[in-house]
Amino acid sequence: MPVVTLYFDRLQKLVGRKISKEKIISELPFIGLDIEEQTDDHISVEYSPNRPDYSTDYGIALGLQGLLCIKKGMPEIKIKNAKYTINVHPSVRRVRPLITGLVAKNGTLDDETIRQIIAMQEDLHNGIGRRRKKSSIGIHDLDKISFPLTYGTVTKDHRFVPLESSAEMSISEIMEKTEVGTKYGHILGDSKKVPIILDSHGKTISFPPIINSALTTISKKSKNLLVEITSTDKNTADDSLAIIASTLQNAGFELFSVKVSGLGNTLSSLKPRTTILQPDLVNRILGLNLSVPTIVSSLKKSRIGAYARGNSTIACSIPRYRTDIFGPMDLVEEVALGYGIENLHPTMPHSSFAGEKNKITTTLDSISELMVGLGYSEAMNFGLVSKEVQYDLTKKNQSKIISVIDSKSQGHTILRDSIMPGLIDTLSRNIHEPYPQKLFEIGVIFTKTNAEIREEIHMACVCAHNDVSYSEVKSVLQSVLKAGFEINCETRMSSNTMFSEGRMADILVGNKTMGFIGEISPEVIDNFKIRMPVAGFEIKLTDLVF
Amino acid sequence: MSQVLHPIEHKIIRKLRDSAGLTYDELASGTKLAIDQVRRGLEWLKYKNLIEIKESEIFFVSLGKNGKDALERGLPERRLVNYVAQQKVRTLDEARTILPESELNAAIANARKNGWVEIKKENGSTTISLKDQTTNSAEEVLLSILKSKVQVDEIKDKDALESLKKRPDFVVFDSIKSKRVNLTKQGLEIATKLTESVGERKLTAEMLASGKWKEVTLAPIDVEAAASEIYVARTHPLHDVINEVREIFASLGFTEIVGNLAQSSFWNFDALFTPQDHPAREMQDTFYLENIIAKNVASLNQIKKVSESHKRGWKYQWKLSEAQRMVLRTHTTCVTIRHLAEKKPDEARVFSVGRVFRNEKVSYKHLVEFNQVEGVVVGKNVTLRDLMGLQTEFYHKIGLKKVKFWPTFFPYTEPSLQSMVYNERLDKWVELFGMGIFRPEVTKPLGIKNPVLAWGGGIERIAMLKFNLDDVRELYNNNLAWLRSVPKCP
């Protein structure tokens, strides 16, 4: 989850009251923020990805103001009309058709403000921007730009000085040689022409969604900013723009509109949404009996605009930056947060249900009990295993491996088709523990037929000590099936690379093969670096006992 | 201290009563016990303070190179007198040729000392004449004794030994250390009371069958002696915790449902209103199965309604092909929602427990595969406070008494809460189960009318609290030392 750094002194200023550190720390979890790290002058908090408006201390300050009753109700975003325009050229249709933006003037930036803004930009890129695929943001020094701007395309030999560089580079070079180029270049596909934003003098402002021009880099000296967002989805772009608008306004900037024209692009309206909330829904879901004024007040503490309309409905205004609110149920949660989760007292719902465990579960538990009675201890291994243990060391047939795509852990790349290799591996990790070692495991295994996957429950057991023999484990097999299910099984000579030749059999119930049993071959035992003879069996329980 | 003696101890004590100060080997041959048994028995007896063991060093003497030579050819003094006798030598000068100068004087001195010869000065020359040369000297006697290695203490003629010791490389000494065992005062007291018959060590089936048991007495055994450790076979501790969770759910009126580990994306994500481009669905978080596609993910109506919900809520083009990709389930919620979509109950309490998978790097706090439990309550009048109440009751039953709630976010519930429980050992609040009410965007398309309370989380976290573990991997190491030592009822 994304993380925001909060300096206490800044946050106190933004909230507008000198609240103690302790108070801040105890209140933050109640607006849904998890404290990750704490030092003398700052804390780091994680925010949920559905609240990108909490990606800066400005956004978090708005939330705290509400909860602490310093400022309630919906914060308004004021955008003045202005003549800034961006003309969209039809050629962007295929690569990245949409653009929007705004201008922020007369503000001041310090290091921490710049850091917060850039961190927000990154979080928006990764979150709702889907790693810049859906939308990407450029923030520029307005005073370096002459309007109107053109959003169009250029070929890859177009040259400009990209951000954090001193020399001109061509688009091709940027895409091949810079970190952002290689990371995000794929978004543009194999298009020969790439999107570009040029100003009225033809100077390059940005090459979205990859990199800005060095020309418009913001610094502590910047007083006026241009924000542009290119995207493939209007709603996503407006979501981002609303969060940036709110943030910059709270940082002391005045906001002005930027008109976009061409290719169906329109001015972004960051007006709040209005909706109706039924108090009855709130009380039914929360299990409370709140009055309309209490619900209104709670919503306002959550920075939602609200007023009672008659006795039975509440009109709500949802600020545009609250991208997480879909419908009335989301507003119910806002009431709960405003009312205070700590004020909700748990109740026990009446129930006339008689609960029970699943039949399969209880059957498997009975088998465990029998195996324990036979002196076997239960092991628990993973279903997602390594090819080495499952196939290489056991010399098993590899033709039907089921793999997962792009596992981050080398030890977990394929699904097991048998439990026994894992148990032998368990023995190999316990060679220094006293023998005899007797283990069993019950679990799911996976098989594949014609690109369809099937899951079965198997049980396997292994027995390792100096006098272990085929007949010892056959006795166990017979006993557990007989004692558990009155099933008689037979064993028929077979062969399998995991076992010693002539000491391995298929397990037959009726005339169906349900598993295998035998003495593990010395070669496999040696592969696992075990220094003790091992015998065991594995049996399919699905379709046998349930 | 128990004074019941093991038969081994019995034999050793009796032997020591007869002859004190025996070595281990002597005890072994005297008692007909194996040397290992003797060692073990002495260990027990020493612990009971019935014997004392004294370490001593025993010195041995044997012939050196010149000694062996002398044994064969005679001592220089013997060779001198033999020569004098054979060659009828009269003067010393004539005798000089038989021996090297270095040995001659000593040989003459010794021959005189032994009374074999008489030396006189006559007419300016020194004469030598034989006297009683046939008697063996003390040195000669000792030399033949030393043919084989002899304990120094056993040699009576110490002067002869001194004499041979003075001669270069005639005798060599070596020693071995040995332990000798004696009875202590307490041991002696017991020894005097011992009877010859130990009694029968073991009652046998044969004795019982033949009636011989009537004639035998059973030897008392050391009932206080330590016994060797045996390991109890048992179910896995994590399995025990999972079962405890099952029992608690059942006791709260929940019925268990089960489902597959491999699921279509439709039930794992789409049915839960997770948009198809949501980061959680990316390969770095979720395990997709290679070359496996779900053919029939759901009914046509379910697919239609779910896709509409996505289009309306998330405003994008929903794709069936994406919903058909098979994943290893990332939560048990897919099992729950499938059950609810099929049964559409107005009232229900069900739970599901089992393995879930996340594509993460394995670490002390993350596994790629772990167990999750999830319970849902469906009902016309169920509330968020009820959900908190059920949660609190569950924690109380599992032994966690201090519980509090914080808001949080889950993609498919609204409102959502997370529960925090107080960990006494770490002295801090730890996050445990998450909970919420299924979003209308989830329930409505699937025809579920009443609110659904849902809550759940990882069972390993509870197990870690129970077994005081800081590393979640320990639960799956199957380390026998741990499995054999962890208490069944912590």
Least Cα separation, residue B409 to chain A (angstroms): 6
Mean pLDDT of B119-132: 80
Q: Which of A235, A261, A287 corresponds to the end of one domain?
A: A261
- The whole-number pLDDT of residue B489 equals 85
Q: Does any CB of chain B come closer than 8 Å to the CB of residue A290?
A: no
Residues of chain A found within 8 Å of residue B386, distances taken between Cβ atoms: 287, 346-349
Q: Which of B173, B197, B216 corresponds to the end of one domain?
A: B173
A 442-501 near B (Cβ less than 8 A)? 444, 446, 448, 451-453, 455
pLDDT of A343-384, one tens digit each?
999 999 888 889 999 999 999 999 999 999 999 999 999 999
CA dihedral angle for residue B91, residue B95, residue B96, residue B101, rounded to 10 degrees: -110
**Position A307 pLDDT exceeds 50:** yes
d(CA B39, CA B1): 20
- The whole-number pLDDT of residue A41 equals 93
Q: Kindly write down the DSSP assignment for every residue of B318-334, as one continuous string.
A: --HHHHTEEEE-SSTHH
| CATH number reported for the structural domain that contains residue A525 in this entry | 3.30.930.10
**Position B196 pLDDT exceeds 80:** no
Q: What is the ipTM for the molecules in this complex? A: 0.91
| Domain match, A174 and A278 both | no
Mean pLDDT of B420-425: 89
| Domain match, B82 and B169 both | yes
| Domain match, B169 and B243 both | no
Mean pLDDT of B210-230: 84
Strand order in the sheet with B171-183: B150-151, B51-63, B171-183
Would the CB atoms of B231 and A377 count as touching at under 8 Å?
A: yes
Phi and psi angles of residue A467, each rounded to the nearest 5 degrees, phi first: -105, 20
Weakest-pLDDT range from A67-71, A72-76, B23-27, B93-97: B93-97
| CATH number reported for the structural domain that contains residue B340 in this entry | 3.30.930.10
d(CA A460, CA A423): 8
Least Cα separation, residue B35 to chain A (angstroms): 25
d(CA A347, CA B384): 9
Q: Which residue, among B182, B220, B223, has the nearest Cα to B46 in the 3D structure?
A: B182
Would the CB atoms of B360 and A408 count as touching at under 8 Å?
A: yes
A 176-235 near B (Cβ less than 8 A)? 233, 235
Residues of chain B found within 8 Å of residue A287, distances taken between Cβ atoms: 383-386
Kindly state whether residue A347 falls inside one of the protein's structural domains.
no
Weakest-pLDDT range from A429-443, B63-77, B368-382: B63-77
B62 or B129, greater pLDDT: B62
| CATH number reported for the structural domain that contains residue A53 in this entry | 3.30.56.10
Using pLDDT thresholds of 50, 70 and 90, give the confidence band for residue B82.
confident
Weakest-pLDDT range from A409-413, A468-472, B119-123, B161-165: B119-123
- The whole-number pLDDT of residue B219 equals 79
Residues 6+ apart with CB under 8 A from B4: B220, B221, B222, B223
Kindly state whether residue A194 falls inside one of the protein's structural domains.
yes
Which runs of E-coded beta strand occur in A8-166?
Answer: 34-38, 42-46, 79-88, 98-105, 135-141, 149-155, 159-160
Mean pLDDT of A496-518: 95
- The whole-number pLDDT of residue A383 equals 96
Q: Could you list the residue range(s) of the whole structural domain that residue B250 is in? A: 237-485
Q: Which residue, among B371, B433, B369, has the nearest Cα to B237 in the 3D structure?
A: B371
Using pLDDT thresholds of 50, 70 and 90, give the confidence band for residue B1.
very low
| Domain match, A328 and A228 both | no
Would the CB atoms of B234 and A407 count as touching at under 8 Å?
A: no
Would the CB atoms of A288 and B379 count as touching at under 8 Å?
A: no
pLDDT of A121-167, one tens digit each?
999 999 999 999 999 999 999 999 999 999 999 999 999 999 999 99
| CATH number reported for the structural domain that contains residue A228 in this entry | 3.50.40.10
Backbone torsion region of residue B354, taken as left when φ is above 0, otherwise alpha when ψ lies between -120 and 50, otherwise beta: left
Residues of chain B found within 8 Å of residue A342, distances taken between Cβ atoms: 404-405
| Domain match, A232 and A297 both | no
Using pLDDT thresholds of 50, 70 and 90, give the confidence band for residue B178.
confident
Q: Which of A226, A261, A296 corresponds to the end of one domain?
A: A261
Mean pLDDT of B406-423: 93
User: Which candidate in A347, A362, A439 is best for mutational testing of the B interface (most B CBs within 10 A)?
Assistant: A347
Minimal-distance CA residue of chain A relative to B371:
A382
pLDDT of B324-335, one tens digit each?
999 999 999 999
Q: Which of B144, B173, B202 corresponds to the end of one domain?
A: B173
> Which amino acid is it at A393?
L
d(CA B102, CA B107): 9
Would the CB atoms of A408 and B284 count as touching at under 8 Å?
A: yes
Residues 6+ apart with CB under 8 A from B464: B470, B472, B475
Residues of chain B found within 8 Å of residue A356, distances taken between Cβ atoms: 250, 255-256
- In the three-class reduction of DSSP (H, G, I as helix; E, B as strand; rest coil), residue A189 is classed as coil
d(CA A237, CA A265): 12
Kindly state whether residue B125 falls inside one of the protein's structural domains.
yes
Kindly state whether residue B44 falls inside one of the protein's structural domains.
no
Q: Which of B173, B199, B216 corresponds to the end of one domain?
A: B173
A 323-352 near B (Cβ less than 8 A)? 324, 326-327, 329-330, 332-333, 336-337, 341-342, 344-349, 351-352
- The whole-number pLDDT of residue B198 equals 65
Kindly state whether residue A346 falls inside one of the protein's structural domains.
no
d(CA A527, CA A536): 17
Weakest-pLDDT range from A52-61, A356-365, A394-403, B188-197: B188-197
Kindly state whether residue B388 falls inside one of the protein's structural domains.
yes
Weakest-pLDDT range from A496-500, B133-137, B239-243: B133-137
Kindly state whether residue A321 falls inside one of the protein's structural domains.
yes
d(CA B408, CA B161): 99
| Domain match, B321 and B441 both | yes
Kindly state whether residue B474 falls inside one of the protein's structural domains.
yes
CB A129 within 8 A of CB A184: no
Tally of structural domains, chain B: 2
Element (H, E) at A449: strand A437-449
Residues of chain B found within 8 Å of residue A286, distances taken between Cβ atoms: 383-385, 415
Residues 6+ apart with CB under 8 A from A155: A171, A192, A193, A194
Question: Is this structure's pTM higher than 0.90?
Answer: no
Kindly state whether residue B213 falls inside one of the protein's structural domains.
no
Mean pLDDT of B348-360: 96
| Domain match, A34 and A85 both | no
pLDDT of A446-487, one tens digit each?
998 887 899 999 999 999 999 999 999 999 999 999 999 999
| Domain match, A402 and A335 both | no
Kindly state whether residue B357 falls inside one of the protein's structural domains.
yes
| Domain match, B166 and B287 both | no
Q: Could you list the residue range(s) of the whole structural domain that residue A56 is in? A: 3-67
pLDDT of A528-538, one tens digit each?
999 999 999 99
Kindly state whether residue B160 falls inside one of the protein's structural domains.
yes
| Domain match, A413 and A526 both | yes
Strand order in the sheet with A534-540: A377-378, A437-449, A452-464, A534-540, A512-520, A499-509, A490-493
| Domain match, A185 and A302 both | no
d(CA A462, CA A467): 13
| Domain match, A91 and A239 both | yes
| Summary mean pLDDT of chain B | 90
Greatest C-alpha distance within chain B: 150
| CATH number reported for the structural domain that contains residue B76 in this entry | 1.10.10
Q: Kindly write down the DSSP assignment for every residue of A233-251, as one continuous string.
A: -HHHHHHHHHHHHHHHHHT
pLDDT of A260-297, one tens digit each?
998 888 888 899 999 999 999 999 999 999 999 999 99
B312's tokens: 């309306």
Mean pLDDT of A479-497: 94
Kindly state whether residue B22 falls inside one of the protein's structural domains.
no
Tally of structural domains, chain A: 4
Kindly state whether residue A269 falls inside one of the protein's structural domains.
no
Mean pLDDT of B273-291: 88
Percent of chain A with pLDDT strictly greater than 70:
100
Cβ–Cβ pairs < 8 A, chains A and B? 251
